[in-house]
Structure formats: structure tokens, C-alpha cells
Structure 1
């Protein structure tokens, strides 16, 4: 696959961030709390700074929306969405379920996505219309057609647990072959590469899942929020699955048709 300049800059930016992250990983790094009580470290800030520099040097007229360094040009034709360490709690505690998420949105539609997990040792990327790749190999979602044979992973189910869909989720749990809670980037990598069939989350941020949504879609899956809407800046929930199982899961979880 020939990479566009957009994709190459995203990959280069993620690689530069990985060098910063590896320097601090499993070090005795100071942790602060942001106003929303989520943790942040020097590694978060410095890795976003190198990503932001790489992107703004290459595309000075593009907008930028970062988890740590703020945003500018949210209404720009091209908008970069960046979470330098998605899974800071994992990073701080020294286990490798964290990643760098870099996505490019064009007129509200995600066109490039990179998901880099340097400590875990995985790199996934996609460009709209060009397929999805994991560690250099093209990947596809599974062809499992029966819910009773499916593996489903969940994460961030707090709002689901306190809402009317909790009993619907219980029916999903009862029906599927296997429930796991891989969380963060990892269950989307598994979904895109055909190792599980679906992911459900009810409390996410667009920066967490923008790149991953494109990777899953380009791998042949369907990715919406729990209201059946495509991914956008306001997305806070996820239903992602292969094309065979998405309709049945959507019905069980009372997801409106888009």
C-alpha cells in the first residue's frame, strides 16, 4: 500500500511519541490529577508535544485537538485528534495496556487512524479506502455469524450500568460464547484482526476511539455509538462488531437504526 503524506506524518508522529513514552515507562514518574480527576504525567505532555510539532510542521493550516495541550482550529477543514497516552493509569502502574492514538478528520469524517502501543508491541493503522493493517499485515474482522459463537469485549460500562440498557447487556452476556474486558486499544485491535467479534463501551472520549473506529471500519467492521450514530466529536459510547453480528447486537441493546 502506498501511504499518503497524511498517514506517513501520523506514523512518524506516533513513532516520535513512542520514544518519549519508552523513556519514562516504568520509571518513578510524578503523577498529577487534572480537573476531571484523571491522571497526567510528564510523559503524556511531552509525547503530545512531539506529536503536535510533527503535525504542525507538516500541516501548519490544520486544526489540532489534543488531550493534554488543548485545541485550535476545531472548525478547520482538516482536524487532528490526538491522545498521546490513552490508558495513563496503565502506564503509571507499569502494565502495557496503553497506546498513542492519532487520527485525522476531514470535514467531520475520519480519514486516517494510527494506534501505537509501544510497550505492548503493536502498531495498527488505516487510511479510508485503503484497508487496515496491524504490524504491517492487512487485517480483517471475523466472519462469525452466530452470537452463540462470538467473543465480545466490554469496557467503561459505568453509564450502561446506571441506565435502562443494563438488563439488555445482561441478555448479551447470557447469549454470547465468551465475554472479556480487554479494554482500551487492545480489544479494537482484536476485533479488527478477527480474534473477537464485538466491543461495547458506554463511557469514552472521541480522542480514545477516533483512530480505532477507522481501523475497525477499514477491516470490514461496523462502528457506531450506542445510538447508532457514526463517530464524531461528541461520541461517548461504542458498539463495534463484524457485519454479521452488528444487527443482532444492536437489536438486543436497543440501538436505533442510523
Structure 2
């Protein structure tokens, strides 16, 4: 099994580096268009999605694929890769250097390995969580990472997404930041930079790669929706399913923060 995991890490590193090299040449130079859900897409997203799917089919022909741009239905395979070719497409198209490529490897519908590469930042995260015959661990540029032990305070940072501004209606115990990339918002919790992060409407490709990394680094992942996120369901179309999420540096802060962000996971009131 160790040989398998060595091949998985090597593959993820190689293919995201290859994709990143080309994307850097297109960074800030491409036009974006709106998709049906209001998010943006560029030709770079579509190229990267295709390149990653083809690479996985060659290296792991018995593995399934779920991707943001093409493959939305969860396949009937034990192993499945979940692809976000460019997380932070708005940043990418506007020249803001916080974007990356995310890969999550699921076993029986649950992420056990994540790999996320941010070319402009020179940062590459990966991690294992409850992977078969593989120790848990989280890393940035091959160096182990861990969440912060600090208590919430006015000098600690917490990340929001653009759709989670409703938390500002109440006093908040941390300094707030907004970065424009769901995976980076969440991963800097794992890295010990922020004490927490919330994402209001991430899709499965936004979170599959970071889910194992955050928990392996010592963090807590809290779904703000009533139903559990994993395992995924064979045959379900995940193109329009959102997973409001709270990530925290420590389990002990869950009771303090959940009441502050619960409204993010609730449907809007109707008149």
C-alpha cells in the first residue's frame, strides 16, 4: 500500500506542477464568463480540467473522476478523484495571486488524501486523513503543519467568503479577512495562520482536497447544513449542491463560533 501512496503523491505533485506552469503564463490575461450558478469560468479552467482528467485516466484507469467543469455525477468506484482546476477563478482572471489547483482522492465516498497547489504563492499543501494503511499527516511544501492552539481574541484572524458577510451583523471575536479562494481560506487554518474560516456555498470540488488536510493538521470541520457531507452518493449529480462549512483550529472553539455563523447554513426566509 505504501507504493500506492507514493505513486499518488508523485502523480499529484507532477500533474499540478505541469498545470500550474501553463496557468502562470495565462494568469491575469484571460477573459472570464459567467456560468449558470453565477461563478466564473475561463478557457484556462476548461483546459486544466481536461488535462487533469486525462492524466488521471492514464495513471489510474480504475479510478473515477468528479470535476467542476465536466464530470458532476459521482461514479460507482471505490476510488474517485475530485478536481477543482482553478480554485479562485475570479482572482486568476483579475490578476490577484491567490488561486490554485485542488485534487481530492476519495475512498468509498470519503476524502482520504488532498493535494492543493498555489503556483503564484509557491505553496503546495497535501495531507492524509484516515487513509487505508497510511499515517495521518498534513504538510506545506513537505513541512508538517499544525493548527493554532491560541484562544479566540481580537488579534487572531478569521477568514470569510464573499457570501458569508451576514456574520458582520453581530460582534465577532477576531479580525476578519477575505481572500477569494475557498481552498486557501480553509487551508490557512490548517497552516496555523488563522483561527478559523467559513464558506457559505462551496461545492464538493472546493472542499474535497482540503477536508483531509485540515483534520490531519488538528483542525475541526463543521458542516453548517443538516445533512453530513460524506460519504458521497453513487449516481448523484453534485453540480448544484453546496456545503456551508466552518473550519476551526481546535474542537474546543466549536461552541463559541457555531452560533455566530449558523445563519450561513440556513435557507433564506420567504415572505
TM-score (norm 2): 0.81
> 1:61 deviation in Å?
1.5
Q: 1:177 aligns with which of 170, 174, 178?
A: 174
Residue pairs, 1:70-85, within 5 angstroms: 70-71=71-72, 74-85=75-86
Q: 1:245 aligns with which of 253, 258, 264?
A: 253
Residue pairs, 1:69-148, within 5 angstroms: 69-71=70-72, 74-128=75-129, 129-147=135-153
Deviations 1:44-91 (A, max 9, x none): 111122211221111112111111232466232111100101111111
Going from structure 1 to structure 2, the CA distance change for 1:176 and 1:133 (only over 3 Å counts) comes to same
> Which of structure 1's runs of 4+ aligned residues deviate more than 6 A?
none
Stretch moving more, 147-156 or 234-243: 147-156
Q: 2:159 aligns with which of 153, 159, 168?
A: 153
- Counterpart secondary structure, 1:4: helix
Deviations 1:188-216 (A, max 9, x none): 23211111100112111111121112111
> 1:254 deviation in Å?
4.8
Residue pairs, 1:211-226, within 5 angstroms: 211-226=209-224
Going from structure 1 to structure 2, the CA distance change for 1:235 and 1:26 (only over 3 Å counts) comes to closer
Q: 1:25 aligns with which of 27, 33, 36?
A: 27
Q: Which residue of 2 aligns with 1:236?
A: 243
Aligned partners of 1:228, 1:150: CA distance in 2, in Å? 29
Stretch moving more, 105-114 or 142-151: 142-151
TM-score (norm 1): 0.84
Aligned partners of 1:47, 1:229: CA distance in 2, in Å? 31
Q: Is 2:53 aligned against 1:52?
A: yes
* Contact 1:114 1:211 survives alignment (8 Å): yes
Going from structure 1 to structure 2, the CA distance change for 1:126 and 1:231 (only over 3 Å counts) comes to farther
> 1:227 deviation in Å?
3.4
- Counterpart secondary structure, 1:35: coil
Going from structure 1 to structure 2, the CA distance change for 1:53 and 1:117 (only over 3 Å counts) comes to same
* Contact 2:83 2:103 survives alignment (8 Å): yes
Stretch moving more, 40-49 or 133-142: 40-49
Q: Is 2:224 aligned against 1:196?
A: no
- Counterpart secondary structure, 1:116: strand
Point out where structure 1 has 5 or more consecutive residues left out of the alignment. none
Q: CA RMSD in A?
A: 2.6
Aligned partners of 2:152, 2:91: CA distance in 1, in Å? 33
Q: Which residue of 2 aligns with 1:40?
A: 41
How many residues are matched? 246
Aligned partners of 2:151, 2:20: CA distance in 1, in Å? 37
Stretch moving more, 4-13 or 102-111: 4-13
Aligned partners of 1:247, 1:7: CA distance in 2, in Å? 36
